[in-house]
Every structure is written in C-alpha cells, then in structure tokens.
Structure 1
Amino acid sequence: MAKNAYESLLFHARETAALEQVAGRLGWDQETVMPRGSAAQRGEELAAMEGVLHARRTEPRIAEWLAGAEPADEVAAAQLAKIRRAHERALKVPARLSQEIARVTSLAQGIWAGARAREDLAGFLPVLGDVVRLKREEGAALAGGGDIYDAMIDDYEPGMTGAEIETMFAALRPRLVALRERILGAAYHPPALDGSFGADAQLRLSRDLAQVFGYDFSRGRIDMAVHPFCSGGGNDVRITTRVAEADPFNCLYSTIHETGHAAYEQNIDPDYLLTPIGGGVSMGVHESQSRICENQLGRSRAFTGWLLEQMRERFGEFGVTDPGVFYAMVNRVGPGFIRTEADEVHYNLHIMMRFDLERALMGGDLAVGDLEAAWNDRFLADFGVAVDRPSHGMLQDVHWSVGLFGYFPTYTLGNLYAGCLHKALRAALPDLDRDLAAGDLSRANDWLHENLRRHGGLYQPRELITRACGEAPSAGPLLDYLEEKFAGLYRL
C-alpha cells in the first residue's frame, strides 16, 4: 500500500466527518431547543457549514491520493470505496447548489413545523416548491442524464433503483392488502387503550425502555421534538420522542424505534470512529434496526406482557390486567392517518403511497400545487378514509421539507430486512421469548451487535444482511411473520 496516500486520505476524511457531526448538531439543536426567532440565521450557518464541507469533499488532492492508495485489507478497501464514491458525487453538485439546499431546507423545516401546528398548508407550499426545484436540480446533476429519482435513492440505499423498489412493492402489496381485508372483516377486534397517562411518567418509562434496548446514555440523550428522530454517530448519538397523554404507545414505541437507530450507531466498531465506514451502511439497514426493535421484539406477545406490568407500576391501574388483551391493544389494526403510528399491516401501504407521489414529483409528472389533492385521493383509495386536515395528510412528515426525496422507500426495505433478521435471530435464540417476558434484551442486542451493527459500512447493504441471516434478503420472512402474528391475534 502507498502508506502516505492512504493515511492522508483517512486523515482528511476524519476531519470532514467531524465537521459533518458539528453540522448535524446544529440540525439537532434546530429541532429541539433553538429559539424560534433564530431560524433565518441558522439557515445561513448551515449554508456556511455546507460550503466548507463541499470544499473538503471536492478537494483536488483526494483524486491524487486515491490514485496512489492501494488497500491492504478489506477495511482499507471499504474506506477507499466510500471516499471515492463521496468524492465523485460531490464533484457533480456545484457548491452554490449544495449551499442553497442547506439554507433553504433549514428554513423549510421551521416553516413546515409552524404550518403543521396551524394546519396551514398554503403557508408551506411556496417553500416546498423551492425545495423541490433545488432537489430536482441536484438529482439531475447526480444522474448525469439518467433517472433523477434513482440518483436520489442511491444517496440512502446504494445500488437500489426506483424500478427495483416498484417490483418489490408489487410483490408485497397483494399479500398485505389481503391480510388487511381479512383482519378488517374479522369477528374479533381488540379495544383501544383508554385513559390519560402523565407526560413525566411516559418520559421516565421511555428512558428505561431505551436502556433495555441497548441505548448508552453516557453517549446520548433523549429530548422532545415535533417528529421523533435520531441524530449523530459514534460517541454522541441523540434521540427524540414526543408525548400524547391519551396515547402512551406513541411515546414509548417512538422511543424504542429511535433507540434501534441509536444502538446501531453506538455499537459500530470504535476503530471506525469518524471514518467513512463509521456509520450505518444504508438507511434500509438502519431502518431494519429500528423496526426489529419496535415491532418484532417490542410488540411481541412476550415483551408486551412485561410492558403491561411496567405501565401498571408507573401509571397505576388503567383498566387492563390481561396480558393477551394488552398485546392485542398494542397491535391493534386500523386505517389511521399517521404513518409513524401505523400498525404493522398498514405501515408499508403508507410508504408505497409516498414512494409513488415523490417519484412523480421528482419526475415532473406531479406539480407541488397538485400534491395535496393527489395525496388525499390516493389515501382515500388505499385506506378508505378521507383526510380531514393537513396535519393528518401531507403535512405530517418532515422529510420533504428537508429535501429527503428517495428516503421513504428505505422504510419498507428496512421492514423487509428486519423480517429476515428476526427469522435468523429466532433460529439462533429459540428460547428468546423467555428473555422478552423478563424485559431482558441483552442476548438479542448482543446478536444484533455481533452480526450486523459492529460492521458499520464495511459491507454493502445486501451483503451485510446476507451475512447476518445466512441467506439473501427477501420479502417472504416479513410476510410470513405478519400473517402468522395477525391471524393468531385476530382469530382468523
């Protein structure tokens, strides 16, 4: 190996990664504690940071170092591949555009939050139009004459295309819709949870749940946000949640979900810290970690039995003492408006709708001004319910305001990966339910850390899942899990 070239590359990459973490912290601050009057200035700050980062990513010496560096092992090969990919991508996007996207999306996030609170869709559409225009320009630059939306997806799930996702969704949809129809037509339907659950008690329990699922509070914290998220990496990984006193599951399962993301980042091999392979390999793999924690483990019959006792201890009696009834409540199926609160049967239908809409938007087949009508029409067709207000419709998600086009499909891809991982985990730990019934996730966490999380970006997404599961990822395990679980729960 040309030692100096490789070491120079890695030193440069580490400094760039450190600055990216600083920029990320500005974003975390904006969504948690930043004063409302600071939004315009924060946009300028983030644009300035993006200018510095873009200059570092396009540094001419990177090409020279890459030409002179030869990998000595698979770690070095993965580092070089990541550096080359990032450098080539950065060269395609003008610095002016990169900075303008950072500035406008920073402003748009605050405008979205205010519009959502006021049910003011008209107040959000102008800045959304700006975001869409800028992201189309970026996508065109990255695509180089190819498909703009494919270029966007590749940012979040390397190697994936819109056509592949369309094929995957076409395979998933029939069995999901058939299962939903069987459930909605069932004679038995569990009751909804009823009562008021204090915010402070919810937050205390959510903190305990984060620790159960492997979150290290010495390197993280939980805060409140409009839309729960995970931010950071390495030794500073932060999560947020939200509270609704009539719906404690919103807080508790949002926390478990974000803890899955955080536990992934916190358990990557420390030797990779602040290097190109020192973060999660893709958003699909990232989502697999949040979804397996939230759903296959957190909503399992064994774990919800333990959670029921924790809730009775923290909130007092709230009219539920039967673990079977509580398990059914946690997994209750219904065509709700909100994606993040959707049950496992409906969740992927939410994603399929967003995928089709944003693909049309980026392809120029759907105008921003027509997006609300397209959303509402599609929601009525898919879910049989008319959207009653913007916060239940296209204002519910933060993603488009901050330019994350191509991100939504990775949620379903993550569910698919989680189904495969859960099958492998159960094979490795056949007595796992004993642990879950005791609120003990230590062995499950250890298996996930050893087989997936510690590798960071060392392997490509599908290779990583294949190595962990012993077989290539497919939709079968997820669909089999859903059909078995809900057939039993709804007595089908």
Structure 2
Amino acid sequence: MSAMDDLMAYQRDTEALGQVAGRLEWDQETMMPRGAAEQRGEEIGALEGILHARRTDPRIGDWLEKAEPEDEVDEAYLRHIRRSFERQTKIPAALAVELARVTSVAQGIWAEARAANDVEQFLPTLEKVVALKREQAAHLADGGDLYDALIDDYEEGATAESLGAMFDRMRPRLVALRAAVMGAAHQPAPLRGHFPAEAQMRLARKLASGFGYDWACGRLDLSVHPFSSGSGTDTRITTRVVEGDPFNCFYSTIHETGHACYEQGVDADYLLTPLGGGVSMGVHESQSRIYENQLGRSRPFTGWLYAQMTDTFGDLGLGDAEAFHGAVNRVHAGFIRTEADEVHYNLHIMLRFALERELIGGTLEVRDLEEAWNTRFAQDFGVAVDQPAHGMLQDVHWSVGLFGYFPTYALGNVYAGCLNKALRAAVPGMDEALARGDATPATEWLRENLQRHGGLYRPRDTVRRACGFEPDEGPLLDYLEAKFSEIYGL
C-alpha cells in the first residue's frame, strides 16, 4: 500500500471513532439518565484521549511527507489532515482529555442552573471551562491572538478583526431597520394560545420531511437546546416544545433540518473521510438559516403552514394567512437568541462575540460576566434582562467550550443571504413549491451546488462557487430591508 493508502485507512478509523464520540454526546442530551453525568464525563474523556493520540500519531507526519495526491480530492484530504495534525500536536494530551471531561460534566450543571435561574450554581464550572480554553488557545496561537486561535476551529481563515469589521458594517443598517420597524404604525399581532406538545411534534416531523430530511438515516428527539448531530447515514436532530409558542418547535426543527440535510447531502464517497461533513460552521449555518428564514419564513411557505396549523389546532385567532405571515416574522426585542427575529438575531451574536472575545483575552472575568451581559443587552436592545435564563444562562455553548463558535451564526446569515440571491435566480418556480410545503427544489439546488462538496473546498470558496460571486453582507441586508419594509409598510 502507498503512504496515501495507509494514511486514509488510518484516518477512516479515526473518523469513525469521532462519530462514536458524537453519538455519546447526542445520547447525553436526549436519553442519558441524569445521574450518569459524572460517569459520562469520564467515558467521553477516555475516548477523547484515544482520539487525541490517534490525531497526533507521529506516523501521520511521515505519511503526509510521503503521500502523493492524484487529484483535487486527494489534495483536499491531505490539506485537512495536515491542518488537524498541526493543530492537535500543539495541544497536550492531558489538556485535551481534561477539556472533554470538564465540558461533558459542565453541560449538565449548566442545564440545572438554567432551570433554577441560578448563576452562582454555574460560575465555578464556567471558570474552569474558560481557564482550560485560555490554556488551549495559548498552545494554538503561537504568540498570536488567543481568540483567533479558537475561531479557527470553526471557520478556517476567519479572524476577530475580519468578523468585527463585518459586524461594524452591518450594525448601522440593522439598527436603522430595527428603529423603523419598531416605530411603524402597523405592528403584526403575535400568535397566542395553547398548542399541545404531541400535535406540535407531529407537525414538526412533517416540516422536516418537506425540507428533504431522510428519515431512513435520521431521527427527531427532544433536548433542552436544539442541535444536530452525526453525518452521512446517521444524522440526528432535536427540537424543544413550548406549548404556548409552537414557532419555537417548528423553526428550531427547520433550522436543525438544514444542518442535517447538509450532512446527508455530502457525496457518499466522502463518508468517514475528512471531507465527509460540512466544511465549516459558517457554511453549516448558511444551510440552517436559509432553510429557517429565507425559505421557512417566506410568504408562500407560511401560507401553507397557516393551513396546516389551522387544521391541527383550529382557529389561531389571527384572521388570515397574511396576518399569520406577520406573526411568524414579528419583530420584537426578545431575550432569547434562538427565538429572535431576523432583524434582531445578528445583534444577539454581536453581543456574544464581544463578550467571549473579552473572556478569552482576559479583559473580562467570569465573575463579572452576568453584569457585563446585562449592561450590554440593555444598551443594545433597550430592555433589562429579567432573569438569568433569559441572559447569560440561555445558551449551551460556553458550558461545552464552544468559544469562537457564535460569530459563525452571523457569518452563516451572510452566506445565506448570498445563497438565497443565487437560488432564486436559478430556481424561478420555487415559490410555487413552497406554497405546497415543498422545499425540496431548494434543497436539491443547495445539494448540487454546495452540500455535496462537503469539505472539498475552503469555506468562502464553497459559498463563492455556489453563488457565482464573492460573498459579502450586502445581499442579506438588502433582503432584510425589502422583506420587513413590506411587512411593516415602511
């Protein structure tokens, strides 16, 4: 066997073990007994030790030196493996294991603190996580910016400076649009009522099917924080149910379906290779956000959803499909990021980006995080945080060590704006399909132009190839201004 063959055979086993680790984390969030948290932390830590040893095995360096790529796919394999090897060898094995163990246990502590609205219950654990992430970042940064080193885990090539500059360009137009919308004479009425959980879940499954989710290779479960897990022939999504707010369940389901359809859409030849999943979290979020917003909140699709909800729950008290469309897209300064409207969503991300950048950089300590969050939220949203579960305890990300992840949500929105522009030009009959609850024409276009490539190209190149132009924030902002000007009569 050649060095390339040896390397890829070795990598396949490493990828398979990584999928097993992901399955343990899925189980922890959906099925695991509460009392098993400490033991699960040890199990995940042990598995991470094995994975770290495999990812830093000196033989990888030898194979990389000797491997001879035959085509662009081989070149992409080597690029990903080399990048992983170089990053992983900078991190001590003991640190990798401890991070995996602590963040596994921290997830359960966060969930309990969130349910109890008790920040103090979570702070000691979060301090451990932040200290470990600072240590990890220092190993990766080689004297450079600590936060940049963590961002690179999720979006190759992105930096705090480039993302901050993008946010600075976006903020004035978002703030101006928010002010115009909130001051408009017409304000859509919200949806109110009681919507039983079982009926919500039946409709949630129908929504996932309408977007092309393959149930033979996937499942839908409940969790505290909705997420997507797995790849290829085993992709799993979760949602959550609030009986007074069915949109929480429905749009979380559509969002996670976008992630899962990306994973299911990757070329089957890439299964259990470095190309076998989404290329970055920014590109991943572009899929979940375009499914959720540009498609799922469009007028044609909400017209279909209105009929489905009326059949399921009876009179919704909104009058007609147009009023329902307004309720789905209602702009309000809510506390929760995952429930935020499209106008406010990126402002939520900008807040988290600023705070975690300071946390990792050491200019903000964990003990001062709640006050910093509440102060910035009041400044940005004009309302005071009423409880910790609506403030710094709302997101799971920091408990599991995902520092540098949040800005990829906004980057995903930017990419989604570009993809939506290209998609609508390429699929002129799409709205007619959406009016039937069928988003598969969009999924098929995205699969052919973006999803099937997996990790073959670099993140921005993946989006550029699909769109036919260099991505920037312009299409997203144009879309938002046009959509909400129409809804609010601006």
- What band does the TM-score fall into relative to the shorter chain? over 0.9
Who is 2:468 aligned against? 470
Alignment map for 1:253-402 (pairs within 5 Å):
253-402=251-400
Alpha-carbon distance between aligned partners in 2 of 1:442 and 1:398, rounded to the nearest angstrom: 31
AA in 2 matched with 1:66 = L
AA in 2 matched with 1:434 = E
Q: 1:480 aligns with which of 475, 478, 483?
A: 478
Asked whether the 8 Å contact 2:189–2:318 carries over to 1, the reply is no
Q: 2:245 aligns with which of 239, 247, 267?
A: 247
Who is 1:11 aligned against? 9
The structural deviation recorded for 1:316 is 1.8
Q: 2:438 aligns with which of 434, 437, 440?
A: 440
Alpha-carbon distance between aligned partners in 2 of 1:223 and 1:427, rounded to the nearest angstrom: 35
Q: Mean Cα displacement is larger for which, 313-322 or 468-477?
A: 313-322
Alpha-carbon distance between aligned partners in 2 of 1:315 and 1:10, rounded to the nearest angstrom: 52
Alpha-carbon distance between aligned partners in 1 of 2:243 and 2:253, rounded to the nearest angstrom: 15
* Identity score, percent: 66
AA in 2 matched with 1:416 = V
Who is 2:84 aligned against? 86
Alpha-carbon distance between aligned partners in 1 of 2:439 and 2:337, rounded to the nearest angstrom: 26
AA in 2 matched with 1:313 = D
Who is 1:210 aligned against? 208
Report the 3-state secondary structure (helix = DSSP H, G, I; strand = E; otherwise coil) of the residue aligned with 2:152. Answer: helix
AA in 1 matched with 2:192 = D
Report the 3-state secondary structure (helix = DSSP H, G, I; strand = E; otherwise coil) of the residue aligned with 1:31. Answer: helix
Who is 2:59 aligned against? 61
Establish whether residue 99 from structure 1 lines up as the match of residue 100 from structure 2. Answer: no
The two structures, once aligned, show a CA RMSD in angstroms of: 0.6
Alpha-carbon distance between aligned partners in 1 of 2:16 and 2:411, rounded to the nearest angstrom: 29
Q: TM-score, normalised by structure 1?
A: 0.99
Who is 1:180 aligned against? 178
Q: How big is each residue's C-alpha offset from its partner over 1:295-317, in whole Å with a ceiling of 9 and x where there is no partner?
A: 00000001000000011111122
Alpha-carbon distance between aligned partners in 1 of 2:327 and 2:434, rounded to the nearest angstrom: 18
Report the 3-state secondary structure (helix = DSSP H, G, I; strand = E; otherwise coil) of the residue aligned with 2:153. Answer: helix
The structural deviation recorded for 1:431 is 2.5
Alpha-carbon distance between aligned partners in 1 of 2:91 and 2:286, rounded to the nearest angstrom: 30
Alpha-carbon distance between aligned partners in 2 of 1:307 and 1:387, rounded to the nearest angstrom: 32
Q: TM-score, normalised by structure 2?
A: 0.99
Q: Mean Cα displacement is larger for which, 3-12 or 329-338?
A: 3-12
AA in 2 matched with 1:309 = A
The structural deviation recorded for 1:320 is 3.0
The structural deviation recorded for 1:318 is 2.2
Aligned residues: 490
Alignment map for 1:75-154 (pairs within 5 Å):
75-154=73-152
Alpha-carbon distance between aligned partners in 2 of 1:487 and 1:441, rounded to the nearest angstrom: 25
Who is 1:489 aligned against? 487
Alpha-carbon distance between aligned partners in 1 of 2:315 and 2:488, rounded to the nearest angstrom: 25
AA in 2 matched with 1:429 = V
The structural deviation recorded for 1:133 is 0.2
Alpha-carbon distance between aligned partners in 1 of 2:112 and 2:5, rounded to the nearest angstrom: 46
Gaps of 5+ in 2: none
Q: Mean Cα displacement is larger for which, 21-30 or 426-435?
A: 426-435
The structural deviation recorded for 1:129 is 0.1
Q: How big is each residue's C-alpha offset from its partner over 1:182-211, in whole Å with a ceiling of 9 and x where there is no partner?
A: 001100101110110110000000001001
The structural deviation recorded for 1:282 is 0.2
Q: 1:156 aligns with which of 154, 168, 175?
A: 154
Alpha-carbon distance between aligned partners in 2 of 1:323 and 1:179, rounded to the nearest angstrom: 24
AA in 2 matched with 1:123 = Q
Alpha-carbon distance between aligned partners in 2 of 1:380 and 1:390, rounded to the nearest angstrom: 14
